Amino acid sequence: MTTPFRLHYAPDNASLVIRLALEARGLPFDTVLVDRATREQHGAAYRALNPAGLIPVLETPDGPLFETAAILLWLADRHGGLGPAPDDPGRGAFLKWLVFTSNTLHADLRMLFHPEQYIDAAQADVLRAGLTARLRRHLALLDHAVAAPDWPGGATEFYLACLLRWMALYPEDFDRGWFRLTDFPALAALCARVEDSDAARAAARAEGLGAQPFTSPRPATPPEGTAT
């Protein structure tokens, strides 16, 4: 590597969260495109880095890291500025909302986007209908948390902005009218402040996300690779 970090990414995928964090901290990194069109993430070379075959992987001086929340926590602890330090009173709130975002919100979105991986295709719409109601409850909880004075901010905001972007765009074969960012004013404000950052502008240029990637998202037109 020519830098301490190498991000294995696909445009407008979970790797976008890590790109935002690296850009926000001014950490130099190289990128390696993972070709989703050829399912490169399931090949032997990629699985040597992440045996689960999921994007992203961040190669570091300590070895390859995977799982978005784990990478964010490692970066926060090693380089600061992405969340409260371990001895900060706000650390607990940071951890609980980061893990909720990863293990609950993002996990439910995966089922919404790829129901065929979890249930017979004939039942996909039933699963999705249940998930949209559940997701709106998650968003209401988060909207309340983000508006509270003890909201810890940090890298969780990058994660949430990306998930909210994808809710507005996907799945393409399902009515997305269940989600309106304006229904959640604190989350809408979060998207606006992430969008108004040098990190977001750099990521948008690199991945073809457009001028308003979080407040008014459109499908990515990346210079390389594919988002789906």
- Please give the Cα distance from 201 to 178 (Å, whole number): 28
CA–CA separation, 131 vs 124, rounded Å? 10
| Nearest partner of 75 among 166, 196, 156, judged by Cα | 156
Domains of the chain: 91-197 (1.20.1050)
pLDDT of residue 228: 75
Alpha carbons 98 and 116: distance in angstroms, whole number: 27
Q: Residue 145's pLDDT is what? A: 98
CA dihedral 83→146→156→166, nearest 10 degrees, is -160
In 3D, which of 213, 115, 226, 119 has the Cα closest to residue 171?
A: 115
Running along the chain, 228 residues long, what does each successive block of 10 average in pLDDT? 90 98 97 94 96 97 97 96 95 98 97 90 86 97 97 97 97 91 98 98 98 97 88
pLDDT at 1: 64
Strand order in the sheet with 29-33: 29-33, 5-9, 57-60, 63-66
Task: Give the angle subtended at the CA of 56 by the CAs of 53 and 59, to the nearest 5°.
Answer: 105
What is the C-alpha end-to-end distance of the chain, expressed in Å?
27
Q: What are phi and psi of 29, to 5 degrees?
A: -150, 150
**Of 91, 217, 72, the residue nearest 155 (C-alpha):** 72
